[in-house]
Structure 1
């Protein structure tokens, strides 16, 4: 069965129920919202919207970090594996939140707060990479973007 999701930015959207994402650990600052969906719109590719199903105004522009940081990788521990019920690390998709700006060159991505989604059960969480050299406000538009056809989009998830 499909669910009608209201989005402040995108209007009314029909989402298959099996595509709904339950956030085991919600996005920081938005702890009241635990159910989301990923919305892909051709004009926004490679970006997607992580839209709350609970409040139309809560949506995050996200992107696969490997598109802009080819050597991006994260480590997760056994607790995080259990929280998302991960059986196969290849079923985990990784996204980072994009911060928009008036000037395109000032747009940033938060590499320290990746969002993991287990595509096998649609459970997700935001991690906080504490001892990381990754930036919270990485200006990705000032760096050369690799051709999309050459990008390996799999973010290595190490246990």
Structure 2
């Protein structure tokens, strides 16, 4: 009996992981407009994509959540070729976040301050499900969250780790935490 239960649990985990790894969320078409963009720092391509969306006028403002405290706005602008005028009017660097949960808290506060009713979340495809779940729990009621996943090539190890983090967050959510 124990073997059957263990085999069933392993099969559930395996099928869940296969779904997680194969059906990564896609990017959003560039013509989708929102009130704001939130990009979580991390893997390559996230910030560049968020800035492209901002420059395409698909949203009027951008929060970069999880910026290292030592990075100045000037250094950021130089690194990502952001014109001064765009940096001053439309880009906020968030220095409070250090993980996905604190990204969500920082972003939700910024969304409230800017009274945004729709937000485009930009992060890596493998990170999107958990990041969107975390942010969705923190956003004010009535805010629409658009998931704009940046395609990537995650390693098997990164996928397994992220899948376990997502399972743990789901379990905590079900437990009411």
- TM-score exceeds 0.5: no
Which bin holds the TM-score, normalised by the shorter protein?
under 0.3
Provide the TM-score with structure 2 as the length reference: 0.23
Q: Which has the higher helix share?
A: 2
What TM-score do the two structures reach when normalised by structure 1? 0.25
Give the number of the structure whose residues are more often strand, by fraction: 1
